[in-house]
Amino acid sequence: MPADASRRLHERALRSVPTGTHSNSRVASPYPTYFVRAEGAYLWDVDGRRWTDFMMGNGAVILGHAEPHVMAATQDAVANGLGAGFESELSITAAEKFLQLVPNAEQVRFTNTGTEAVMHAVHVARAVTGRPSIAKIEGAYHGWWDEVFVSTWPDLRAAGNAHMPVPLPGGAGLRQEAVTSAVVVPFNDLETTAAILEARRDDVAALIVEPTMIDVGFIPPEDGYLEGLRTLTSELGIVLVFDELLTGFRVALGGAQERYGVTPDLSVWGKALANGFPLAALAGSRAMMARTEPGSDNAPFVGTFNGYRPALAACLATLELLEDGAVTRSLEERSRRLVEAWDEVVAKAGVRARLHAGGGHFQPYFTPLPVRDYRSAATTDAAAYERLRAAAAERLLILPPKALLHAAFSTAHTDDDLRALIDATRAAFIEETPDA
């Protein structure tokens, strides 16, 4: 498929932008596709082609691109001219609506990105406990800040024993002390986690957990795991932080904490919170959130663009469309049907694979092993995934560029759009098989 305009834009971009992109996650070979418009489930590129989007802003666009109610609210906010640096009634109304939908939280403060929300959570945990170190799940992504960009998609050849993972930097330039002091624990292994945290009980301030691991695909918690973490962290005086950036409003209206009935001390939110507009939140108990108030013993919580009014307008409009729960229920049911159809195709093809999905997130794993943590997910066959991704691209379907990321659909995707994904899977693994 020729893409001459994207190629020319990439050549131009390289003169002023490293890689020609503003996020390394968008780097593509031989060059990325550049887009001009989005609506519903679709993107139009600079060469005039319409693509079906199965990334949806890394899961953020839950209602579809340019959803009319959200766009109208945001445009009204922009027209009023009130943006950064001041409070308005909207900042209260949006907070009230959020707490209505996330009843496990008692208070909330808005910021701009998931990374910033995580930074605030870490600061609060340290202020509360007086301890320096942060514990996190091996393989999980919680942003690019030094303290948490550790053992994120790590090279398992250097990651040590599964029962004592070695903290590895997510890239160069991180503060070495942040990496070496980090505590890395496996997902869905309560016994190992307890042993590691008990040995570090005097210096671990917080355990941050993505309650369903989604940045490496879609790995749900096993029965009793989150409940066990809640009990364990309470006993050890460790602040339990749920990263709900991807689970929020998708796996349940009130996030994974509602779905699994486990209340963390703090939680961070974003992505679907504003249907893709840049907004994030820190939420938690009144006592925990009080530690963000001004005071020498409290954590800082400042930012010119915190509570940016156009983003809050998008948030309120999005939450209004989500509040009856119909969107979340529909995404869950359609995810279930997608799994059934996809698994049927790969079974017919004789491919050792399985599709994990929930809340509109989905991830194919090309491995015979049960996928329950990062190390089992990392056994996926990257070549088989690339075969699927290429077949999808031939049909102008956008899937993530790497085998361990995560795909997503929205309420704007039609049944025909999902069938196109199944057709791409069939083409990749059956129609190209000589004996098929």
pLDDT of residue 2: 52
pLDDT of residue 324: 97
What is the tens place of the pLDDT at every residue in 328-345? 999 999 999 999 999 999
Residue 8 has pLDDT above 80, yes or no: yes
Residue 316 has pLDDT above 60, yes or no: yes
Distance CA 409, CA 312 (A): 23
Angle (deg, nearest 10), helices 309-322 and 89-101:
30
DSSP of 400-423: -SSSSS-EE--TT--HHHHHHHHH
CATH of the structural domain 68-322, one choice from 3.60.15.10, 3.40.50.720, 3.30.1490.190, 3.40.640.10: 3.40.640.10
| 243 flagged as catalytic | yes
| 141 flagged as catalytic | yes
Q: Which of 142, 147, 185 is nearest to 169 (CA)?
A: 147
Distance CA 126, CA 206 (A): 8
Q: Decide: 277 and 57 in contact? Cβ < 8 Å.
A: no
Query: What residues have CB less than 8 Å from 240, skipping those under 6 apart?
Result: 206, 207, 209, 229, 230, 233, 234, 264, 265, 266
Give the active site residue among 42, 271, 374, 385: 271
Which of 25-29, 41-45, 58-62, 158-162 shows the lowest per-residue confidence on average (mean pLDDT)? Answer: 25-29
Residue 27 has pLDDT above 90, yes or no: no
Distance CA 330, CA 135 (A): 35
Contacts from 396-403 at CB under 8 Å and sequence distance 24+?
396/49, 396/50, 396/51, 396/52, 397/51, 397/52, 397/54, 397/421, 397/424, 398/43, 398/51, 398/52, 398/53, 398/54, 398/55, 399/54, 399/55, 400/55, 401/28, 403/366
Give the active site residue among 31, 34, 42, 141: 141
Q: Which two tokens stand for residue 273?
A: 């919170």
Q: Mean of the pLDDT values across residues 11-24?
A: 91
pLDDT of residue 83: 87
Distances 38 to 48, 52, 212, 418 between C-alpha atoms, Å: 12, 10, 29, 18
* pTM (2 d.p.): 0.95
Residue 135 has pLDDT above 70, yes or no: yes
Angle (nearest 5°) at CA 79 between 73 and 84: 90
Q: CB 48: neighbour CB atoms within 10 A?
A: 8
Residue 146 C-alpha from the chain's centroid? 18
Task: Tell me what percent of the residues of the chain surpass a pLDDT of 70.
Answer: 98
Q: Which two tokens stand for residue 134?
A: 């942060």
Residue 107 has pLDDT above 50, yes or no: yes
The CATH code of the domain at 33-66+325-431 is 3.90.1150.10
Q: CB 201: neighbour CB atoms within 10 A?
A: 13
Could you identify the residue written with the tokens 């971009």? 13
Query: What residues have CB less than 8 Å from 291, skipping those under 6 apart?
Result: 124, 127, 128, 297, 298, 299
What is the radius of gyration, based on Cα positions, of the chain?
22
Q: Mean of the pLDDT values across residues 344-370?
A: 96
Q: Where are the domains of the chain?
A: 33-66+325-431, 68-322
What is the tens place of the pLDDT at every residue in 204-259? 999 999 999 999 999 999 999 999 999 999 999 999 999 999 999 999 999 999 99
Give the active site residue among 243, 265, 373, 417: 243
pLDDT of residue 364: 98
Distance CA 232, CA 171 (A): 31
430 by Cβ neighbours in 10 Å (0-12 / 13-18 / 19+) ranks as middle
Residue 118 has pLDDT above 80, yes or no: yes
Distance CA 266, CA 273 (A): 16
pLDDT-based confidence at residue 31 (cuts at 50, 70, 90): confident
Distance CA 342, CA 331 (A): 16
pLDDT-based confidence at residue 3 (cuts at 50, 70, 90): low
Q: Which two tokens stand for residue 215?
A: 């940045």
- Which DSSP category does 36 fall into? E
pLDDT of residue 258: 97
* End-to-end Cα distance, the chain: 26
Largest CA distance in the chain: 72
Q: Which helix (H) or strand (E) holds 323?
A: none
Residue 1 has pLDDT above 90, yes or no: no
pLDDT-based confidence at residue 152 (cuts at 50, 70, 90): very high
Which of 224-228, 300-304, 371-375, 431-435 shows the lowest per-residue confidence on average (mean pLDDT)? Answer: 431-435
DSSP of 233-251: HHHHTPEEEEE-TTTBTTT
Q: Which helix (H) or strand (E) holds 280?
A: strand 280-284
Beta-ladder partners of 135: 183, 207
Distance CA 323, CA 327 (A): 9
